[in-house]
Amino acid sequence: MENHFDLTGKVILVTGGSRGLGEQMVRDFSEQGADVVIASRNFEKCVSLSDELKSMGRKALPIRCDVTNIEDIQGMFRQTLENFGKIDIVVNNAGVNTSKPALEVTEKDYDFIFDINIKGLFFCSQEAAKYMEKQGYGKIINLASVGGIKPLKRIALYTASKAAVIHLTKSLAAEWARYGIHVNAIAPGFIGTEINEEERNDEELMGKMLKKIPFRKFGDPKDVSSLALYLASKQAEYITGQTFIVDGGFTIE
């Protein structure tokens, strides 16, 4: 039986790939035969995950990269090309959030969120497109959020940055389609990862949050990764500029 999500021979770079949703995507891409580049600020975790995948016969390259630093971004792509000779897919997964009332937000908070969630994502996309344009093909998958669609309290900067990701995805898709580059986004809702484990262990908080989700449960990282697999595969060759929501119905109302 044909494997519709076979990624054998593809080179996929994932920022923020050492934990959470990024780690799950790295694992699933690798399982489907892709050569993976694992990039994040935590180089030790990148190396650990890379070593694990290599022990299973996979090809993986760990890279330390701070996406707020343009030289880091350029170096990340240069290393990828030196090791694999090409780059087919880039997943802009690196992102941060700070929760506090809008009246208490500082300039430092603003720069922290927008430098990673927008500046980093844009310049990673730009650098990827420089190589993909020469190839005449490529895919960029951006991680947005339901916060970019439905306003949420106490995370005004985060939701604004993710709304920007959604609009930027459309703009880049329209501009780069002529080069054979697909640009799409995934907007996860509440997904259970190590990052929000503390909140999920708070029964009172969880009770309030689950009431807002029609399925009454958090999603699994696989729910997001499965969609990323689809967008990375040959099954999604006629899709660009779209944002796909994975939220258990949170944004319905």
Distance CA 212, CA 5 (A): 33
Q: What are residue 33's phi and psi, to 5 degrees?
A: 100, 0
Helix or strand (DSSP H, E) at 203: helix 203-210
Burial 71-81 (b: 16+ CB within 10 A, else e): ebbeebbebbe
Helix or strand (DSSP H, E) at 123: helix 121-135
Q: Interhelix angle for 20-31 vs 43-55, to 10°?
A: 20
The catalytic residue positions are 158
Distance CA 216, CA 76 (A): 40
Tell me the CA distances in angstroms from 140 to 65, 92, 96, 123, 137, one per residue in order: 18, 7, 19, 12, 10
- Is residue 194 helix, strand or coil? helix
> What's the alpha-carbon Rg for the chain, to the nearest Å?
18
Provide the 10 A C-beta neighbour count for residue 121.
Answer: 28
Among 32, 25, 30, 1, CA closest to 234: 32
